[in-house]
Structure 1
């Protein structure tokens, strides 16, 4: 009825967890993390030199300057006031950029 190889493929497809189809591809996940870490480092320099207030347009410009690629533009636009507040608060507590990005679910 079924050839053994076809049966093996069908069993493999059926037994594969559905969650695998919802995982972010590694290249996108990596780009989000790299963009975040570079942005946090840029924001960190601004916070340390200017005392702490950072506006959304400042973060957007820092992000685009640190990661000047077309594929990162949408990632730069995703930073809202909440993410900026988290960045600034954690920078002031000397939390490393990678850990800040993990807190923001970017890494």
Structure 2
């Protein structure tokens, strides 16, 4: 019983520590931005195949979430993230799961 209590206390401490580094609103915005972007990229991938470049993802992101606060989040997608996104879209992975894989949700 004492071990379970220790594990629970440790989990709460880790959670509190992490939340002090990443504000919840910023984490939520990153997730919302990612899901909207993946949905937009999904349409392009299904229509055009693999010809999705980073600049395409940036443009789709800015179109899907046209807010000043999300702008920097759109710029964070690199070539690796685009490759993962396209690969998982082709495997029919849901947008939220893709964003979890990209550590945005």
TM-score (norm 1): 0.81
* Structure number with higher helix proportion: 2
Give distance in 2, aligned partners of 1:25 and 1:92: 32
Where does 1:1-107 land on structure 2 (aligned, <5 Å)?
17=13, 20-23=16-19, 24-107=22-105
Moved segments of 4+, more than 3 Å = 16-19
Give distance in 1, aligned partners of 2:48 and 2:77: 20
- Rg (Cα) greater in structure: 1
Q: Which runs of 5+ in 2 are unaligned?
A: 1-11
Give distance in 1, aligned partners of 2:37 and 2:14: 34
1:53 Cα deviation (Å)? 1.6
TM-score (norm 2): 0.82
The count of aligned residue pairs is 92
Give distance in 1, aligned partners of 2:30 and 2:101: 13
- State the superposition RMSD in angstroms: 1.5
